[in-house]
Amino acid sequence: MKRHESMGKATPRNPLCAWCIALFLGAAGAGACGGSVNEAPSIGSESHFLAYCTARCEGGLDCIAGICTRSCLTQEASCGDLAAGAACTNQSVEPGQVAVCDVSCASGAECGTLGSGYRCEGGFCRSGSSAGVVDAAGAGAGAAPDEAVCEAFRDQSPPPDVRAISIVNTGSVPLYIVPVTDCQTRPSLLSVEREGPFIDLTPMYLRCGHPCQQLIEEGWHYPPGEEASPLCSVDCGLPPLVEIGPGQTLLQPVTREVVQKQLPRACAQGAPLETVTCESLVIPPPGNYTLTVRTVVNPTCDSGVDCACHPDATGTCTNNNLRATNSSTPLIFSFPSSGYFQNQTLSISASGN
């Protein structure tokens, strides 16, 4: 697409129109002096720059990916005539593919210089209504989301009753549970598998992914290049042991499962891709589960130091000298179950071993 280029010298037809030169060089209405000028879009109440569009735009602009702008080359300063702060970017409409003139922003106040009705959406200034706008892929870029479709990506609410798995030591000697840990929250007393693979029970607020429900409610507000985010992983070593004495019962509350999903663009205002990777909290469905409790009978402890457990209120041993190693006597208890998200009791015992 061609830029509007300035013409050469303008010769007024009479001395009274000498002021036309200044107006002409300022790119504002020199036609009254007998010359002709390609009119550049002006910012203000009549501007269509960065307004949403469906087919065509006025003022020498083109409807590109649902907004009135024009194509450009990122290595050239070719957008300054459209608005103060306008720059050529390939990150606003089709990241990495199409370069257009745009104005970036971090808040609505930064778009106020463009005129009334401008607001900051997804890191760029926009004007008008996005309803019915069709993007390059043929999908409604700003259309109201289908609530029925988006609802499937929201977090599922747990039932009001508190559910927990009871672990009972029915033997006559203490056992020491080796918890499963994510290094940042209270470790789980058991691991959970469904049809073979382990299910992910890591709390959402500790993850590096994008929560689906937050994207639905707040829209996409991540910088370009963060269309997907890898999950966090931390290597924190072995967790403290948890003592469970003879006849004692420990409770492990059940939690919702973290499931990765592909959220449609229509459900996340300003999303840069047709679908974005996000995570939802769901109630684990019934199925073939295996609940596993890993224990040791005689934890390893260096000689000449205190080797007592000294459990806190949760049973967790506060003595760092006590630990599970490959030389400890392991006892692993696995229980088939028809479900995880339910009250159930697991009996463990070192008797006879």
Phi and psi at residue 167, to the nearest 5°? -110, 120
| Rounded mean pLDDT, 338-353 | 88
Q: Which two tokens stand for residue 267?
A: 């459900």
Pick the closest to residue 71 from 121, 3, 139, 126 (CA basis): 3
**Nearest-angstrom CA–CA distance, 25 and 107:** 34
Is the CB of residue 289 less than 8 Å from the CB of residue 194? Answer: yes
- Whole-angstrom distance, CA of residue 204 vs CA of residue 201: 9
Whole-angstrom distance, CA of residue 159 vs CA of residue 151: 18
Taking the model in full, what pTM does it have?
0.56
pLDDT score for 67: 86
Mean pLDDT of the chain: 75
pLDDT score at 29: 37
pLDDT at position 277: 85
Mean pLDDT (whole number) for 192-219: 80
Six-digit token string for 288: 């073939």
Confidence class of residue 38 from pLDDT cuts 50, 70 and 90? very low
26 pLDDT more than 80: no
Query: 158-186: per-residue pLDDT in tens?
Result: 888 989 999 999 999 999 999 887 555 56
Residues 107 and 114 sit within 8 Å (Cβ to Cβ): no
Decide if pLDDT at 228 tops 70: no
The structure tokens listed for 6 are: 């300035």
In the prediction, which pLDDT does 130 show? 61
pLDDT on residue 43: 46
pLDDT above 60 (res 143): no
Among 18-27, 50-59, 135-144, 287-296, the least confident range? 18-27
Mean pLDDT confidence for 140-163: 75
User: For residue 3, is pLDDT > 60?
Assistant: no
pLDDT reading at 248 higher than 90: yes
The label of the residue with tokens 């990150």 reads 91
pLDDT greater than 70 at residue 17: no
Position 39 scores a pLDDT of 41
pLDDT-derived band of residue 204, with 50, 70 and 90 as boundaries?
low
